[in-house]
Structure 1
Amino acid sequence: MQGQTQQQAYDRGITIFSPDGRLYQVEYAREAVKRGTPSIGVRTDDGVVLLVDKRISSPLMEEASVEKIHKADDHIGIASAGHVADARQLIDFARRDAQINRVRYDEPIGVETLTKDITDHIQQYTQVGGARPFGVALLIGGVTGGEPRLFETDPSGTPYEWKAIAIGENRSTVQEYLEENYDETLPLDEGVELALRALGEIRDELSPEGVGVGTIDAETGAFLELSNDEIQEYLSDLALLEDETADEEATPDSDGDEETEE
């Protein structure tokens, strides 16, 4: 009971360390990320893939209103997991930072530079009173000098670089699949397939409307968001479409145990 009282005393202020060196509000922000729908990033020799699970909660919801993947600059895309409103604030910061760099230096901002600018901004909200930490993690993918880069941001303000990474709900399951199946030599389209298969590990049904995919090609250095038709083609090739899953379950086996009606 005394331990709970002590924790409550320290988790009310983000600027106060607990006696064991913890910032409880930052840890709570990480929990918010874990409750968010997953996002996946895959870096290949040919570019970077960003995939998000939109999870449309109602057929009456407009698909375009679910924003989890964003264009930060011509050569950089960002995916999020956690509080979408917090993500939008960081996306706006990233876009302003990228444009300022173009105006000031007449060149596109580096992916690592942008990531560290964002994480510096996030870190300020872990040591300044009167505001809470951002309850969101970002995947920042892009191309710098023809080299694909992929970074993750943490609510503490720490950047990490990855070859393949999952954030959000069921992260450990998706990450385990990526670790077992990732290959640096994958072409970009197979990177998309890997990300979709990884999401399929935790989703029984996938639809083009419920998935967002963005790619940054190393050769062109351009961010491109795939259309629903293109996503549907990938899902169909991988047998991950929700209607195809239902059809396979309804198909009689080779022994003819099920009767069909004409």
Structure 2
Amino acid sequence: MVQLLHYPLSSAQPCAAVASPWPSGPLAEGRTWHAAQAQEGWGAGRCTVAEQGAARAWPWCEVGVAVAGELVLGFQGRELSLNAGDAFVIPCGAAVQWQARGGFEYAFMAVMAPPEPARAPFKLDLSASLEPCSPPPADVLLGPAPEAWSLPLYEAGALRVGLWQCEAYARRQMRPAYTELMYLLEGGVQLTPEQGAPAHVEAGEVVVAPAGLANAWVSERAVRKVYCIWG
């Protein structure tokens, strides 16, 4: 079974590598997969970019969180500069050139979303204003319903990417039908899987919760996060 994948700020390699879910892809020399379910169409891990190169068609849609260094992506004569703390999307099918400056590192989730060859890579607006949304379902909450806000930023097939913010709350273990990469922007949360140690996730860190892995949530302060949901 795929386990909860947590990237704490204190560790670049939180768990053992696994085999690549797909036979080839860009940045293969610096890419380490830490979780992958090829039949479900997703994989996640960490990537180091120390050179320049190009891909005629990005083979999957990739959502990344920059950890260190700088990377410049080129697309149809335009450039996108990425630095530590940025969250970004490279659409499937995009023809992309890249050049690293200072050794670029990022955490990622790759999914087999529909091709969008005409769409450029882009950064997520992490400070965007959010709209009120429904809180977690009442039947899983262990206390009063919190207030919550969200903003969708990108969709492609079964992939949904956006921002979500919620007051402190606790919920019992639930088994999600989707895989989610979370990038915490504010606050902190303890995620406790049905097997294994709890993950204490703080602002600036990334965690991946695979579909089918039951986990409980406890946050003692408001949380704001990027969500990347597949399925």
TM-score range, shorter chain: under 0.3
| Structure with bigger gyration radius | 1
Higher relative contact order, structure no. (Cα contacts within 8 Å, ≥ 6 residues apart): 1
TM-score by length of 2: 0.27
